Amino acid sequence: MQDASNPPSGDGDADAHLRAVAFAQAPVGILVVDGAGLIREANPALCDLLGFPAGALNGRALSALGAVAPRACIRRWLRADGTGLDLRIRPSRPSGDFQVLIVEAVDPDEVVRADENRAALTAAGLGEWRYDFADGQVALSRRAAHILGHAPGAAVSWVGLQAALESGETDRIRAQVRASLREAKPFALECRLRRERDGVAIDVEVRGEAILGTDGRRRPVAVVGVIEDVTARVETRTALRAGEQRLRIATSLAALGIFEWHMLDDQAIWENERMFAIFGRRPADGALGKREFLDVVLHPEDRPAFRAAITRALREDSVLEATGRIRRLGDGAWRVLDFAGRFERDGRHRLPRRLIGVVADVTERRLAEERQTLLIRELHHRVKNTLATVQAIVGSTARTASSIESFYEAFVGRIMSLAHTHSVLTEDTWQTASLRNLLANELKPYAEGALEEGPDGDARIQLVGPSIDMSSEIAVPIGMAIHELTTNAAKYGALSNREGRVAITWAVEPGGPAGILRFSWVESGGPPVSPPTRQGFGSRLLQRVLTAQVRAEVTMTYPPEGFCLTMLAPLPARNDALNPLT
């Protein structure tokens, strides 16, 4: 090209001079490439754009800067310092062995609107759209039109799109978009609509932002954005939420607490209210990490086994199963907890990241199991004693009976008394029997009216004493003794005639684990009494059974005016573990 400093001498020269000036002073980059791909000449604007000195690109291969498409495109070329620069390149038609390229810098937003990026949006399932306030029309890209079920290039209005939305969605979308436009912020929303081509309901996610006008009033003239079909994602999320809800309901009904423990920072997340209730904590108190749980909350005796269970689960990649006692924060009560969980790893042979598990308060179950064991032992003991008593009744009744009829009468009466005492015991929750009830049930047939409940009066039978509930271990032998005393009084003593009287008094005196029962049976008004010449079954039962099973001191006297018995029996302490209501 001719030097622009030398004036032309003719018309041809004038044109060449003008071209040279335009080339040198053009505000955009211009370069001339020959058929071999070499740069024949690059103008100062291009050299300056790429950071090269003027004339430094002449003679270089174009490929050293970057590739060129046969049509206008955006490409990244290398600058002199090795960094990349996005440029818009518009090639001219080749003229002989030469081609001219116009090169200019592009805005970053233009780069992402390149055709290749449009293909990437389509591959990602995103379609582009634009809404113009002037005409109310919505322009859809091919992908956006496919998502909504419209033909490519078809005219779509906002009014038409509203008709496809499910009931109630229009107002919500309008309110959300208007709020974003007022605040000049992008918006993102999900909605459900009917696809145009087949009426199938789909879920879409719409994102967009306003384009402001250039009239100085900063009013939006259009809204542009992308749309994505998220039906599968919404269905998965809905199913996941439903599963989580079912899990929460199940764990709530099972009274299970759910927790996560993150190992790296020793932080715990308690997923439901039951966890806080089990530990007696409030949400404001926060969850417990491993260190605080093992060092403070867990019972000291349970800590070694709990640590061993954690180590074993980590080493074997197995389920963590552990039991421990904790002191509940709310009331300070000790509770027994069962733990089950699984360590979650990021990958095979990787260190675990967190522990997910459940907690159950099994205090009542453990107490019930212990109570059941005690009740079984109590039942075995009671059956053993009952069989021994029945064996003694059979032997002694047979030895003292004068005939089969007398044996039957005495044996049946004693067995019925034993059965009655057991009925009283089984009907009571605590497996106890009232001393007053045992006396009343045996003596009521001989009372000839109501039993006298006080020391005064002329009732035939007087019962005087406090309310005492006796446990089975002493209620059975004392019940048998009351039956024998009543039977003897009815056959030979005060209850054998109309004038006889029986006064029974009792009291609890200090001593023993639960006091000493002082029991007195005094007969009067019956036939004259004399000491027996031989010991019958009743006497043997009163002496042996009460002494052996009740560890009582029994004194019997036979003054002429009536038989008297005094018994001092230690009352056993009540075993709270046998109470099914605790």
CA 261 to chain CA centroid, Å, is: 13
Secondary structure (3-state) at 579: coil
Residue among 84, 76, 144, 82 nearest 110 (CA) = 76
Cα torsion 271, 273, 276, 281 to 10°: value is 130
SS3 assignment for 508-531: EECCCCCCEEEEEEEEECCCCCCC
CA distance 67 to 52: 18
- Out of 64-68, 438-442, 516-520, the most confident range is 516-520
CA distances from 29 to 79, 81, 99, 360, 541 (A): 13, 18, 14, 76, 128
Q: What percent of the chain has pLDDT over 70?
A: 79
Check residue 582 and give its pLDDT: 44
Check residue 64 and give its pLDDT: 87
Q: Which helix (H) or strand (E) holds 388?
A: helix 363-400
Provide the sign of the torsion angle of the four alpha carbons 172, 175, 181, 182, taken in this order: negative
Check residue 252 and give its pLDDT: 66
Mean pLDDT of 459-481: 85
Q: Which helix (H) or strand (E) holds 361?
A: strand 352-361
Say if CB 305 and CB 325 are below 8 A apart: no
Residue among 443, 447, 440, 402 nearest 424 (CA) = 440
Q: What is the Rg, in whole angstroms, of the alpha carbon atoms belonging to the chain? A: 52
Q: Which amino acid is at 249?
A: I
The string of pLDDT tens digits covering residues 247-264 is 677 666 667 888 989 888
CA distance 516 to 508: 5
Residue among 237, 122, 224 nearest 177 (CA) = 224
The string of pLDDT tens digits covering residues 95-141 is 778 889 999 988 765 655 555 566 666 666 788 888 888 788 888 88
CA distance 428 to 381: 18
> Please, what are the domains in the chain?
11-111 (3.30.450.20), 118-229 (3.30.450.20), 255-361 (3.30.450.20), 368-578 (3.30.565.10)
Q: If pLDDT is split at 50, 70 and 90, which confidence band does 246 have?
A: confident
Q: Is 545 exposed, middle or buried (0-12, 13-18, 19+ CB in 10 A)?
A: buried
CA distance 453 to 372: 38
The string of pLDDT tens digits covering residues 64-78 is 888 777 777 778 888
